[in-house]
Chains A and B, each alone.
Chain A
């Protein structure tokens, strides 16, 4: 079971009270106590007892150095981060938590540690007070202990008499103001110096003013130099800026604040500040190898009381608008000869001495009702010059001049108002010419739009060329030739299409191609046979007759040339319902040919003629009836 908080606190306080021993001994007691607690809870393996302790990495710290403060809570992970109270002599910052879990011989234990960095601010011995830690909703308290801060790591170097013993003496910020009485809006120079001695400093930020009533300007490049004050050598960083008060009365300037990082660690002890060059250098390798730590620090200067004076009432010019300093004022007007309604440019320039507060300077303006139409001025501000350009238009030709313009300012050195008057500027305004009356203003130099021309309104003249005088009502759509051409084209197209279809079929359909071929080949065979008959060549005649009928029937019924026997043909003939007479004729022709070709019987020319006629008749008949 858990030990009750009261019991725990009682145990620690008792130990602390009875034996004001060294920290090590205290730790031993703590561990002893823990051992007892462990034994007490031995009955339950997984139950853990909660203990809280605080320790510091070193009990002796060199000024400007830091030590690590660890608050360890063992036995529970349910710990709220500890908020350290302000500790005298130190600046503490939280570095982070860490958790450790271990299982030894089946014994589970865990601890959580919060680590803080303690940065020594001054010499002396300081007490780290008792710290409250909330674990699982219960409050535990650590033992207080003390830590010593020494001036220098080098014990042999004896401190100079009257030497500072605080960090504030090693690094500090000084605000310097040239005078304590200043007029409203008067710009004055402020010097802020950062003094550093025996420390390594990095990342110095530009100082910032606290307090109201002043407007701060920008900083220039800071200056660095060495300065010896009270026998101690300081590295000085000097910031300069101009500021001006924005309200009157007794005001406080500052305090000025800046932040920088002090390098803490071995390097701090090993290397004297003077050998380290510029403090703005990011000494990467040093910080890498020496494992330096950056300790942020906020520096604050003293505030300075300043009395801001209002402008004196007596002799205050009417048009005074708050310009303070020394100024020059110029006015130019151009062109000086214009037509009524033409623009004139009025240019005003206020030139201040260097570092004059120009934001408070209000440019004088031309009063309305002086016969001019006034446009909004364009204001330009650069360095110590403020310029305006304004377009003014004389409204009548009676205007003879641009009235005088005055600019007033307050000279804080003379403590007097000064007024500069420029003008009046004579101008000549002429009556506008009729054609000039409508003019676009502000477009000088731009391309003027062309004059709108007035076009006459009438019809265009008649045509001289008659064009083609075609018969009335003649139209292509009524033209015979047009339709003839279309008709012809259509006929041609159909013919071409049919031709294509036919050739395509012959190419692809061999049955069709052969059937188509049959009569032509038959005709050729018959012609040859007739020729042979006339010349009396019997064998050749019958040869041709046989070939012709065989080829013809083969083509007609799509039979391979070797397979065209009468038996093969007979079936096809019957399928086509051919007359028996014709079938008999074919059979007769076949047998006749066979007889002559193989038996070479004696055949008369009359017989040949009969055979020829029979063949011609058969082919003619088949052509007509076999499709």
Chain B
């Protein structure tokens, strides 16, 4: 019986490892491209910089700094849509980076994108800050660690014969934390699902036809959620809830 169990685990392990069949460039090569791109950026050769950074990404490697620098390069080129896109991607890896936050804020003021038109309440702002503070991985890790601690504490309380109230006290605190982080993670996943940035200015139409009536405008840098893809068309929902059809490639998923 035990042997069977171990075998099962091994099979699972093999399956999971086998998934990552991806052509990757070596970390050294990526690093040299990163340095080259940085030099190009300093020499105001933004095209080269963009090319090098994109090569790193195409080579299957990423980091917050790569996205951030790429965003900067696009900004210098005046491509605000792609700047926002790359900043958003960087935000998923290095959400607490002060440079990134500063540039993102500056950019948002520049593009003056439509953000739903509602002033956020204190609570929703606090929740937003909480969710935005961590990356998805960090949240998952925190939840896992908290659950482990809770489970370990439960066992400890059994073996050590703790008074029930003590375990309930600590357990409640941990449970609340676990719940908070789980909800945060769920929100993050839901928010990010299908979120895209407009890279080229376009109109959202009522129907997926070129001669359809224009519903609303999409300016570069604006965010929208991709609902469905149908051939060359995408059904998107703007942050304020308006839904329309737009030709593909005008939006890029984060």
Closest A residue to B30 using CB positions: A469
Whether a CB of chain B sits under 8 angstroms from the CB of A500 is: yes
Kindly list chain B residues whose C-beta atoms are within 8 Å of the C-beta of A467: 63-66, 93-94
A469–B94 CA distance with the chains assembled, in angstroms: 13
What does the 1/0 interface line of A486-499 toward B look like (CB < 8 Å)? 11010001001100
Pair B140/A476 contact, Cβ less than 8 Å: yes
Which one of B9, B27, B38, B72 lies within 8 Å of A459 (CB-CB)?
B72
Let me know if A469 and B151 touch, CB within 8 A. Answer: no
Complex Cα distance, B75 from A468, in Å, reads 24
Stretch binding the partner chain, chosen from A31-39, A86-94, A477-485, A570-578: A477-485
CA distance A483 to B17 in the complex (A): 12
Q: State the Cβ distance, B201 to closest chain A Cβ, in Å.
A: 21
How many whole Å from A588's CB to the nearest CB in chain B?
37
Q: Does A459 lie within 8 Å of B75, measured CB to CB?
A: yes
Determine how close the nearest CB of chain A comes to the CB of B4; give it in whole angstroms. 14
Are A461 and B72 in contact (CB-based, < 8 A)?
yes
Q: Is the CB of A466 within 8 A of B136?
A: no
A484–B64 alpha-carbon span in the complex (Å): 27
**At the interface, yes or no: B111 with Cβ under 8 Å from chain A?**
no
* CB < 8 Å neighbour of B65 from A465, A473, A482: A465
A459-B72, A469-B63 known; A464 vs B38 contact (CB < 8 Å):
yes
User: Which residues on A sit within 8 Å (CB–CB) of B162?
Assistant: none
Residues of A within 8 A of B66 (CB): 466-467, 469
Selected from B38, B72, B151, the residue in CB contact (under 8 A) with A489 is: B151
Among the stretches B98-106, B121-129, B165-173, B240-248, the one at the interface with A is: B98-106
Q: Is B148 an interface residue (CB 8 A)?
A: yes
Q: How many angstroms from the CA of A468 to the CA of B30 in the assembled complex?
A: 11
**Is A472 among interface residues, defined by CB-CB distance under 8 A?**
yes
The reply to whether A469 and B31 form a contact with Cβ atoms under 8 Å apart is yes
A466 touches B137 (CB 8 A): no
Contact flag A472-B62 (CB < 8 Å), given A460-B103, A464-B38? yes
- Give residues of chain B (18-51) contacting chain A, Cβ–Cβ below 8 Å: 20, 22, 24, 27, 30-31, 34, 38, 41
Complex: A489 Cα to B144 Cα, angstroms:
10
The CA-CA distance from A471 to B31 in the complex, in Å, is 13
Decide: B99 and A460 in contact? CB cutoff 8 A.
yes
Contact (A462, B63) CB under 8 Å given A469-B27, A471-B22:
no
User: Who on chain A is nearest to B185 by CB?
Assistant: A477
Q: Is the CB of A480 within 8 A of B137?
A: no
Among listed B53-61, B204-212, B220-228, interface-contacting one: B53-61
Q: In whole angstroms, how far apart are the Cα atoms of A465 and B20 in the complex?
A: 26
B107 at the interface (CB under 8 A from A): yes
Select which of B13, B34, B152 is within 8 A of A466 by beta carbon. Answer: B34
Proximity bits, A432-473, B CB within 8 Å = 1, else 0: 000000000000000000000000011111111111111111
> Which residues of A lie under 8 Å from residue B107 when comparing CB positions?
459
- A residues in contact with B148, CB < 8 Å: 489
Q: Closest Cβ of chain B: how far from A604's Cβ, in Å? A: 43
By a CB distance below 8 angstroms, the chain B residues around A480 are: 13, 16-17
Do the beta carbons of A469 and B56 come within 8 Å of each other? yes
- Nearest-CB residue, chain A, relative to B18: A480
Does B65 contact A459, Cβ atoms closer than 8 Å?
no
Contact B69 A462 (CB under 8 A): yes
Q: Could you tell me if A462 and B72 are in contact, using CB atoms closer than 8 angstroms?
A: yes
Residues of A within 8 A of B22 (CB): 471-472
User: Which residues 158-200 of B sit at the A interface, judged by CB distance below 8 A?
Assistant: 158-159
Write the chain B residue with the least CB distance to A476. Answer: B137
Which residues on the B side are within 8 Å of A483 (C-beta)? Answer: 16
Known contacts being A476-B137, A480-B13, is A466 close to B24, with CB within 8 Å? no
| Interface size range of chain A in the complex | 20 to 34
With A469-B62, A470-B61, A475-B137 in contact, is A459–B30 under 8 Å at CB? Answer: no
Q: Is the CB of A466 within 8 A of B65?
A: yes
A473 to B136, CA, bound (A): 12
Interchain CA distance A462-B151 in the complex, whole Å: 44
User: With a CB–CB cut-off of 8 A, which chain B residues contact A489?
Assistant: 148, 151
Does A493 lie within 8 Å of B151, measured CB to CB?
A: yes
Complex: how many Å from CA A464 to CA B37? Answer: 10
Q: State how many residues of chain B have any CB contact under 8 Å with chain A.
A: 45
Does A471 lie within 8 Å of B24, measured CB to CB?
yes
CB of B63 within 8 A of CB of A466, answer yes
A464 — which chain B residues lie within 8 A by C-beta?
38
Distance, CA A487 to CA B72, complexed state (A): 42
Q: Which residues of B contact A487 (CB under 8 A)?
A: 9
Chain B residues positioned under 8 Å from A469 (CB to CB): 27, 30-31, 34, 56, 61-63, 66
| Contact B62–A477 (Cβ < 8 Å) | no
Contact A463 B68 (CB under 8 A): yes
Contact present for A475 and B136 (CB under 8 Å):
yes
Cα-based distance from A252 to B30 in the complex (angstroms): 112
Q: Which of A170-200 contact B (CB under 8 A)?
A: none
Q: Looking across the interface, which residue of chain B has its beta carbon closest to that of A486? A: B144
A489 to B148, alpha carbons, bound, how many Å?
8
Chain B residues in 8 Å Cβ range of A500: 155, 158-159
Complex contacts, A459 vs chain B, CB 8 Å: 72, 75, 102-103, 106-107
Contacts of B20 in A (CB 8 A): 471
Give Cα A208–Cα B62 distance, bound, in whole angstroms.
99
Q: Are B60 and A462 in contact (CB under 8 A)?
A: no
Chain B CB count within 10 A is highest, among A460, A464, A473, for A460
User: A460-B102, A466-B65, A470-B61 are known contacts. Are A476 and B141 too (CB-CB below 8 A)?
Assistant: yes
A471 CA / B63 CA spacing, docked (Å)? 9
| B93 CB contacts on chain A under 8 angstroms | 467
Q: Is the pair B140, A470 in contact by a Cβ cutoff of 8 Å?
A: no
Residues from 193 to 252 in A contacting B, C-beta threshold 8 Å:
none
Closest chain-B Cβ to A480's Cβ sits at a distance in Å of 4
**Residue in chain B with minimal CB distance to A504:** B158
Q: What are the residues of chain A within 8 A of B24 when measuring CB–CB? A: 471
Of A469, A483, A489, A497, chain B has the most CB atoms within 10 Å of the CB of: A469
Residue of A468, A476, A477, A482 near B63 (CB, 8 A) is A468
B158 CB → nearest A CB, Å: 5
Given contacts A462-B38, A462-B68, contact A472 B106 (CB under 8 A): no
Docked complex Cα distance between A556 and B30 (Å): 71
Q: How far is the CA of A500 from the CA of B156 in the complex (A)?
A: 10
- Distance (Å) between the CB of B85 and the closest chain A CB? 15
Let me know if A497 and B34 touch, CB within 8 A: no
- CB-CB under 8 A from A466, the residues of chain B are 30-31, 34, 63, 65-66
> Of the candidates A462, A471, A486, which one forms a contact with B61 in the assembled complex, judged by CB atoms under 8 Å apart?
A471
Q: How far is the CA of A482 from the CA of B144 in the complex (A)?
A: 9
Known contacts A459-B107, A462-B38, A466-B30; is-contact A484 B155 (Cβ 8 Å) = no
- How many angstroms between the C-alpha atoms of A473 and B60 in the bound complex? 8
Q: What's the Cα separation between A591 and B34 when bound, in Å?
A: 92
In angstroms, Cα B148 to Cα A496, docked, is 13
CA distance A496 to B159 in the complex (A): 10
Contacts of B17 in A (CB 8 A): 480
Q: Are B61 and A477 in contact (CB under 8 A)?
A: no
B181 CB to nearest chain A CB (Å): 13
Given A463-B65, A464-B38, A471-B60, 6 more A-B residue pairs with CB atoms under 8 Å apart are A461-B99, A462-B41, A462-B68, A467-B64, A472-B57, A493-B151
Residues of B at the A interface (CB closer than 8 Å) are 9, 13, 16-17, 20, 22, 24, 27, 30-31, 34, 38, 41, 56-57, 60-66, 68-69, 72-73, 75, 93-94, 99, 102-103, 106-107, 136-137, 140-141, 144, 148, 151-152, 155, 158-159
Interchain residue pairs with CB less than 8 A apart (14): A459-B106, A461-B72, A462-B73, A463-B99, A465-B65, A467-B64, A469-B30, A470-B62, A472-B22, A472-B62, A477-B137, A482-B141, A497-B155, A500-B159
